[in-house]
Amino acid sequence: MNRILIQHAKGIVQHGRSHIVRGSEMKQLPVLENAWVLIEGDRIAETGSMDEPFHHPVTDVIDAEGKYVFPSWCDSHTHLVFAGSRESEFVDRIHGLTYEEIAKRGGGILNSALRLQDTDESALFDAALERLEEVKRSGTGAIEIKSGYGLSFDAELKMLRVIRRLKEQSELIIRATFLGAHALPIAYRENRSAYVDLLVNDLIPLIADQGLADFNDVFCDRGFFTVEETDRILEVGNRYGLRPKIHANELDFSGGIQVGVKHNALSVDHLECTGEAEIACLQSSETMPTLLPGTAFFLKLHYPPARKMIDAGLPVALASDYNPGSCPSGKMPFVLSLACLYMGMSPEEAINAATLNSAYAMGVLGEAGSIQTGKVANLFITKPMQSLAYMPYAFGSDLIETVILNGKRI
């Protein structure tokens, strides 16, 4: 069996912790200094201090002098399966159009849906696999991927089959989310409820039956789906065992957070528009508020009030939202930099949010998110770094030297 020893590490980050972190605890990040990690097969077997070195036979030794060992990032919100980029809308926005104006003209998500409907499954798979390769190199080891660019019976199933193939063939831990309610297709503009009927009567039962998704999502926001429609879709999803993980309060105080919490959502995501009422609602829930600062950056929105949420005792997770319209990047280190700079999160808080808390937000806390005996050996070793704060500080630099997934060097 594969036995890899990483030794002389400057620090093992997120060492031994297995629960989510909230409020003031988010400032604390357990780091085992001057340490070693033993990997056996695809698992983390043991960790220890160099004061008591590991002396037994191994198949591979990695010297990590001056370097940190991190658990891989868990990117709990992406739309990584898509057909083609949308830089023409980026240019339209530079010239003054807003994201919502572009969407109203049939651009945005509907533009991606038209292209995806015309793209065959293997081309979608190849492009998505390439994107996974890219995010792997920036330290992502677990990723959630949504449908939602199909927006028809056949094309939504096509997307979910692509995600299933990615699950089978990629080294990353992958979770799939059904997002049929991403935007209303033009054909249903005069008959919204017929589209919701298609989702709840036809697609959700079939997807649950075929095991094609782990979670159920709705874009509950101004100009997209209403609270009433969301309520219906989440209720039916829950009945079929698909826990909600929804888009909420990106464009307005939409009521999305409240309806998500009502249906015991695993996470509610975006949250640019979050006030006292939304924070109070989250306080009495098991729902993870998940922030996507890459989207606020790219769409020039105001950032979610992370500081207020954490100071009110909430946990917060971070994810990329990788998609062709509102955040064409899956680079988690950049997400951390934005969280620190524009949401007032400390480097420790940002690292907690992108590891343990985001592992929870995609239902993989038992296997990912920390360096702990028994978890999957998905981790990375940095280049030599003076301190942990260097990671979000040196934005844009490639600070990751070695990636290990399932116990194998990539």
The contact set with ligand NIG (CB under 6 A) reads: 79, 108-109, 112, 219, 247, 250, 295, 321, 323-326
Tell which residue, 219, 294, 310, has the closest CA to residue 27.
Answer: 310
Q: Which of 321, 375, 376, 388 binds Fe ion (CB under 5 A)?
A: 321
Give the nearer residue to ligand NIG in terms of CB position, either 274 or 372. 274
Site for Fe ion in 132-161 (CB under 5 A): none
What residue 325 binds from ligand NIG, Fe ion, none (CB within 5 to 8 A, per partner kind)? ligand NIG
Least Å from the CB of residue 176 to ligand NIG: 16
Q: Which residue is nearest to ligand NIG (CB)?
A: 325
Distance between CA atoms of residues 9 and 384, nearest Å = 10
| Assigned token pair, 88 | 């023409």
Least Å from the CB of residue 169 to ligand NIG: 25
Report CA torsion sign: 395, 344, 268, 111.
negative
What residue 36 binds from Fe ion, ligand NIG, none (CB within 5 to 8 A, per partner kind)? none
- 75 binds Fe ion per the rule CB under 5 A: no
| Assigned token pair, 213 | 């998704």
Give the nearer residue to ligand NIG in terms of CB position, either 126 or 252. 252
Distance between CA atoms of residues 224 and 110, nearest Å = 11
Q: Segment near Fe ion (CB under 5 A), from 49-57, 272-280, 317-325, 344-352? A: 317-325
Q: Segment near Fe ion (CB under 5 A), from 34-42, 55-63, 113-121, 313-321? A: 313-321
Least Å from the CB of residue 321 to ligand NIG: 5
What residues have CB less than 8 Å from 362, skipping those under 6 apart? 74, 76, 142, 143, 144, 175, 245, 266, 267
Tell which residue, 408, 388, 396, 333, has the closest CA to residue 9.
Answer: 388
Confirm if 122 and 79 have CB atoms less than 8 A apart.
no
Give the nearer residue to ligand NIG in terms of CB position, either 171 or 221. 221
Q: Segment near Fe ion (CB under 5 A), from 38-46, 122-130, 235-243, 320-328? A: 320-328
Least Å from the CB of residue 217 to ligand NIG: 9
Give the nearer residue to ligand NIG in terms of CB position, either 79 or 131. 79
Looking at the DSSP bridge assignments, the partners of residue 152 are: none
Give the nearer residue to ligand NIG in terms of CB position, either 86 or 375. 86
3-state helix, strand, coil in the chain (%, to 5): 40, 25, 40
Confirm if 141 and 73 have CB atoms less than 8 A apart.
yes
Number of residues that bind Fe ion (CB under 5 A): 1
Q: Segment near Fe ion (CB under 5 A), from 15-23, 52-60, 124-132, 318-326? A: 318-326
Positions of E strands within 22-67: 31-40, 43-49, 60-63
Tell which residue, 367, 148, 356, 181, has the closest CA to residue 260.
Answer: 181
Give the nearer residue to Fe ion in terms of CB position, either 272 or 321. 321
Least Å from the CB of residue 318 to ligand NIG: 14
Confirm if 227 and 247 have CB atoms less than 8 A apart.
no
Least Å from the CB of residue 359 to ligand NIG: 20
Give the nearer residue to ligand NIG in terms of CB position, either 107 or 407. 107
Three-point CA angle 95, 84, 191, nearest 5°: 80
What residue 304 binds from ligand NIG, Fe ion, none (CB within 5 to 8 A, per partner kind)? none
Give the nearer residue to ligand NIG in terms of CB position, either 47 or 295. 295
Confirm if 142 and 74 have CB atoms less than 8 A apart.
yes
Give the nearer residue to ligand NIG in terms of CB position, either 267 or 295. 295
Least Å from the CB of residue 378 to ligand NIG: 24
Query: Residue by residue, what is the 3-state secondary structure of 77-107?
Result: CCCCCCCCCCHHHHHHHHCCCCHHHHHHCCC
User: Looking at residue 403, what DSSP letter applies?
Assistant: E
Least Å from the CB of residue 255 to ligand NIG: 16
What residues have CB less than 8 Å from 357, skipping those under 6 apart? 20, 21, 288, 315, 316, 317, 318, 369
Residues at the contact surface with Fe ion, assessed by CB under 5 A: 321
